[in-house]
Structure 1
Amino acid sequence: MGDAIELAAGDYRAAVGRRGAAMCRLAFAEQELIWRCPPDEPPPASHGLLLAPWPNRVRDGRYTFKGVEHQLEVTEPRRGTALHGLAYDKPWLPVEISSARARLTCVLDGTKGYPYSLELSADYELDAAGGLSVTLAARNAGESAAPYGMGAHPFLSIAAPMDDAVLKLPASRRLPVDERLLPSGAPEPVEGTEHDFRTPRPIGATAFDTAFTDLERDADGVAWTVLTSGGASVGVWADASCDWLQVFSAEGLPEGLERRGLAVEPMTCPPDAFNSGTDVIVLEPGEETRSRFGIVRLPQP
């Protein structure tokens, strides 16, 4: 796959791009679990990207931190937002590569609107039983506190039609948004709404571009989203640092992609968190934070 770093373990195969440390492929026994994309081309709908130092959107690209207002580049002009952070289009340096593991690093240093210095690392590891796990870490290498959040943007492959795919989504509340997909109120219960998938059921006509929270977790503190499509089940798990999930059903994408993938995006904070302050991590100089998530093919029940 061009300049991608290819990994293998048991029946799993994966590929990681050097730009943005993006997920370009994850397959199990030749079944593609996520969209497969060339590593040297912009991915469709931000597929596979790692999102730091913020996930999702910042309203008008503007925020205030520690009493100082900052103006980011507006990268989503039609909605007037700064979208998906700064790291996704940066070159990442591979510092460790083996047959089943790759570690890449990237430094953000004084970018427009984000005058802070962060050392980022992404560890991808394949396991023959556990599938793909990803650890994204950030260390404040500067001399002042820095706001931080992270996310990831994989699209799970769906055998058409999406209506028949069965989803289990471990969320009790969803965030209402306006026409710009920016928060318009406090999180609301999903109970009794079309977005309640705590008990697995077919997606049907439900459309998602929605942030969820209040996640149910197992004994290890892990939240599991499970999608069953075309006779296969795929699980996306996220550790306790990720209190939010953005789910997007690929509405409005070009022909061939619309409703052919479900983005399940673990996030440490919600959309526009740099303005609301909700779950923003404040990294003091020298401090580090890390988050883990993964994707695995699950046995049929």
Structure 2
Amino acid sequence: MQESRTGQQLTLRHGPHTAVVVELGAALRSYTVGERAVIDGFAAQDRITGGRGQILVPWPNRIRDGRYRWDGQELQLPLTEPTGRNALHGLLRWVSWRVVESSENRAALAVQLWPQPGYPFHLHVLAEYTLGEGGLEVAVTARNLGESAAPYGFGQHPYVMAGTATVDEAVLTVPARTWLRTDERGLPVAAEPVAGTAYDLRAPHAVGARRLDTPFGDLDRDADGRAVVRLAHPSGAFGTDVWLGEGAHYVQLYTGDTLPPGERRRAVAVEPMTCPPDAFRSGTALVSLGPGERHTVRWGITPWGD
């Protein structure tokens, strides 16, 4: 295991599949099949930018003004997105997770989220990565170690690739019946049907000029209970599926238009989420995690084709 700016590098292998998970934030650093890059990750010596591969706990996305009310308390979180005056992407991205298991095709890392200003709750979080015939499977389980119910949400932030120089040529399918219109701060204004809009991606469409930083909900699922977002090469010969299983009720799509110039539109961030942005305030799909209770989310990445 190699030391770097993101701590231990845990390499998982199964046949031609290789994935690397790092100690910092238990983030997914890379995933390849042979010479093919499945995600747009980061190098071992790089600093993580754009949220690449990061786990977003105890909330995904944004909380307006970092302020919310829970069990009669008015709580204030640090504004980690100062330009939008939002609390962004949770509290565990920049902390060291403890490696509890590391084998040829599996890694598990854990961390305690201690009570702190704005989030006076005590959680244990376990992230499990398993590489197999079906690709990479991720399970993240939170357990409430405290004596009162805690607000909880999860997200993760992989940038998916499909062998194109930019995402414009890639073909995207999103099995969602609604999209969330957002304001200039990236916060939801209303849930609207995708039918008749540029956000109707239930059939395959080239990404084209679409600029997405958009939450989707009301996901259609297959017989296994999975909602599958597909990014395919325009030839149709290969691509990458991101499946959302247990606990993942929303997905955010981001085409990277606000990243630094050299990083824009290289990939589509396909972000499984338990709840939409600002759920700590709206309560939409927010988990109330009681004392001793556990909550698990399962999602994964399946590369396919040549």
SS at match of 1:245: strand
Structure 1 residue 196 displacement after superposition: 0.7
Q: CA–CA distance in 1 between the matches of 2:185 and 2:9? A: 34
Shift of 1:99: 0.6
Can you list the C-alpha shifts for 1:253-274, whole angstroms capped at 9, x where unaligned? 2222111110000000000000
1:25 aligns with 2:49: no
1:34 deviates by 0.5
Out of 217, 221, 230, which is 1:217 matched to?
Answer: 221
Secondary structure, aligned partner of 1:78: helix
Distance 2:100 2:232 in 1: 36
Match of 1:195 in 2: 199
Query: AA paired with 2:71?
Result: K
The reply to whether residue 107 of structure 1 matches residue 112 of structure 2 is: yes
5+ unaligned residues in a row in structure 1: which ranges? none
Q: When the two structures are superposed, what TM-score results if normalisation uses the length of structure 1?
A: 0.96
CA distance in 1, matches of 2:167, 2:40: 15
**Is 2:271 the counterpart of 1:253?**
no
Q: How does 1:114-133 map onto structure 2 within 5 Å?
A: 114-127=119-132, 129-133=133-137
Deviation of 1:244 after TM superposition, in Å, equals 0.3
SS of structure 1 residue aligned to 2:201? coil
8 Å CA contact 1:16–1:39 kept in 2: the answer is no
Which consecutive unaligned segments of at least 5 residues does structure 2 have? none
**Match for 2:172 among 161, 167, 185?**
167
The Cα offsets for residues 215-240 of structure 1, whole Å up to 9 and x where unpaired, read as 01001110000001375310000114
By how many angstroms is 1:39 displaced?
4.6
Question: Contact conserved, 1:19 with 1:39, CA < 8 A, in 2?
Answer: no
| Mean Cα deviation higher: 254-263 or 59-68 | 254-263
CA-based RMSD of the aligned residues comes to: 1.3
Q: Give the AA of the match of 2:151.
A: P
Taking the TM superposition and a 5 Å limit, the aligned residue runs for 1:32-71 are 32-39=37-44, 41-71=46-76
CA contact (8 A) 1:18 1:39 kept: no
TM-score, normalising length from structure 2?
A: 0.95
For 1:205 and 1:31, the matched residues in 2 are separated by 25
2:297 alignment counterpart? 291
Give the secondary structure class of the aligned counterpart of 1:35.
coil
2:168 is paired with a residue whose SS is helix
Quote the Cα distance in structure 2 between the aligned partners of 1:196 and 1:42: 35
Whole-angstrom distance in 2 between the partners of 1:181 and 1:108: 26
Structure 2 counterpart of 1:149, from 130, 146, 153? 153
1:247-295 deviations in whole A, cap 9, x for unaligned?
A: 0000022222111110000000000000000001001100001000000
Counterpart contact for 1:167–1:201, Cα < 8 Å: yes
For residues 71 and 88 of structure 1, what CA distance do their matches in structure 2 show? 19
Between 229-238 and 103-112, the greater mean CA deviation after superposition: 229-238
Structure 1 letter corresponding to 2:249: D
Identity score, percent: 44
Distance in structure 2 (CA, Å) of the matches to 1:111 and 1:27: 38
CA distance in 2, matches of 1:106, 1:196: 38
CA distance in 1, matches of 2:297, 2:139: 6
- The code of the aligned residue for 1:45 comes to G
Deviations 1:24-52 (CA, angstroms, capped at 9, x unpaired): 00001121100131355432210100000
Match of 2:185 among 159, 180, 196: 180
